[in-house]
Amino acid sequence: MNIRDVARRAEVSSGTVSRVLNNHANIDEELRRRVMRAVADLGYVSRRARGHRPDRAGRVVEIGFLLSLPHRAQGDLLGSFWLPILQGAEREARKHGARITYRPVSNADLDTLGEGVAASRLDAVLLVGAAPAASVRDALRTGRAVCLVDNAIPGLPVDAVLSDNFWGARTAVEHLIERGHRDIAFIGGPLEPGPARVNRIHTLEWRALGYRTALGRAGIAAADDLFESGDLTPEGGHAACRRLLAGDRPFSAIFCGNDPSAMGALQALREEGVDVPRQVSVVGFDDDLADHATPPLTTIRVDTQAMGAVATRRLLDRATEPAAPAVTITLPVRLVERASVARR
């Protein structure tokens, strides 16, 4: 497998593939995703990385970047949020003479994750996204170094790297409250079965908790009929916003659990002739699509490249000190104000 095979698969030039793999800044985002999909589909590893050979005496050479999104349909998983995490991991791995192999993990793969890792040439695993506890346990039993990225499993002794989901959500909602909003809706992720409204995904549950905490600190009761769930896609955000609009409870603002959901909510509001931000303000989370929104979206910025780099460093440390206590690293976030919020 060589760079020309990747270029043919992605329908681009070999030079474009080279620029993408070397993280050049002047690459269109859609083009970058197309190339990285081709890399993943073909299992391509660069010549420089192929020159390395595994050294099983504690040195990490092969790192698996296993991306799991079991809460939604498998498809173009390596989107605008996950790609910078991969790039940050690749950049850090390269500093230490290691290579990253990207693989999407389907729902079926999660059932046999431990077997797949045990049978692989991987020295260590970045388990990225919403992998369930049972799959994480299986991966740990293989004896490989494991670090979760954008996920955490309470009670399991496993390293994890996340953004500050609670503080970011609280900051976003307090921003709306400071501008006079009190009827603030929430669009989160998929929920656990049962009557309680608990997000299935760890990061989204912390964002929901930040939302409720900000309301409570301001003396505002959280209303069940302003709490919606979705699948974290624009389509899911659109459907959730339509349900809010069809309800009896008025609202002047929406806090969305991620930017794709916010993009869908903005579209639903436009379709109903609701002016953003004059009639309804909208805030997102992650800052991975906000520049493409109309109007530009106020959101919480997550340093995704840093997440990938820090997780890779933690993984390398874990490989050299396997008995060290597991740690959870929380990276700071910040509010980015744009044009989707107005004073009430």
SS3 90: helix
Asked if the structure places residue 83 within a domain, the reply is yes
Lowest mean pLDDT among 33-47, 74-88, 104-118: 33-47
Domains in the chain, number: 3
- Mean pLDDT to the nearest integer, 21-25: 62
Asked if the structure places residue 143 within a domain, the reply is yes
Higher pLDDT, 262 or 2: 262
pLDDT tens readout for residues 60-110: 889 999 998 755 544 444 567 898 999 999 999 999 999 999 888 877 788
Q: Are residues 8 and 86 in the same domain?
A: no
Sort 179 into a burial class: Cβ within 10 Å, 0-12 / 13-18 / 19+.
middle
Token pair, residue 119, equals 């049978």
The band of 118, judged by pLDDT with boundaries at 50, 70 and 90, is confident
Alpha-helical segments (H) within the chain: 3-10, 14-21, 29-42, 47-50, 82-95, 107-111, 113-119, 133-141, 165-178, 202-217, 234-246, 259-271, 304-320
Is 22's pLDDT higher than 70?
no
The residues, ordered by sequence, that sit 6+ positions from 165 with a Cβ below 8 Å of its Cβ are: 203, 204, 206, 207, 210, 333
Q: Are residues 211 and 267 in the same domain?
A: yes
Asked if the structure places residue 344 within a domain, the reply is no
Is 51's pLDDT higher than 90?
no
The band of 50, judged by pLDDT with boundaries at 50, 70 and 90, is very low
Asked if the structure places residue 84 within a domain, the reply is yes
Asked if the structure places residue 341 within a domain, the reply is no
Q: Are residues 106 and 88 in the same domain?
A: yes
Sort 73 into a burial class: Cβ within 10 Å, 0-12 / 13-18 / 19+.
exposed
Higher pLDDT, 6 or 287: 287
Asked if the structure places residue 60 within a domain, the reply is yes
Q: Are residues 171 and 291 in the same domain?
A: yes
Map tokens 């850090």 to a residue: 92
Is 273's pLDDT higher than 70?
yes
Asked if the structure places residue 200 within a domain, the reply is yes
End-to-end CA distance of the chain: give it in Å, rounded: 58
SS3 334: strand
Q: Are residues 225 and 152 in the same domain?
A: no
pLDDT tens readout for residues 303-332: 999 999 999 999 999 988 999 999 999 999
Sort 284 into a burial class: Cβ within 10 Å, 0-12 / 13-18 / 19+.
buried
Among 21, 94, 85, smallest CA distance to 60 is for 94
Q: Are residues 89 and 32 in the same domain?
A: no
CATH number at residue 10: 1.10.260.40
CATH number at residue 206: 3.40.50.2300
pLDDT at 55: 45
Q: Are residues 159 and 169 in the same domain?
A: no
Is 251's pLDDT higher than 80?
yes
Lowest mean pLDDT among 51-65, 147-161, 228-242, 289-303: 51-65
Is 117's pLDDT higher than 50?
yes
Among 84, 82, 85, 77, smallest CA distance to 107 is for 77
Q: Are residues 134 and 70 in the same domain?
A: yes
Distance CA 264, CA 256 (A): 10
Structural domain boundaries, residue 223: 165-302
Cα–Cα distance list, 222 to 70, 141, 183 (Å): 28, 41, 9
pLDDT tens readout for residues 161-189: 999 999 999 999 999 999 999 999 999 99
pLDDT at 96: 92
Higher pLDDT, 289 or 72: 289
The residues, ordered by sequence, that sit 6+ positions from 194 with a Cβ below 8 Å of its Cβ are: none
Q: Are residues 171 and 294 in the same domain?
A: yes
Is the entire prediction scored with pTM above 0.85?
no
Q: Are residues 265 and 318 in the same domain?
A: no
Beta strands 299-301 and 334-336: pairing type?
Answer: antiparallel
Residues in a beta bridge with 117: none
pLDDT at 73: 41
Q: Are residues 284 and 320 in the same domain?
A: no
Computed over every residue of the chain, the mean pLDDT equals 88
Sort 15 into a burial class: Cβ within 10 Å, 0-12 / 13-18 / 19+.
exposed
pLDDT at 45: 54
How many residues would you count in the chain?
344
Asked if the structure places residue 336 within a domain, the reply is no
Q: Are residues 215 and 246 in the same domain?
A: yes
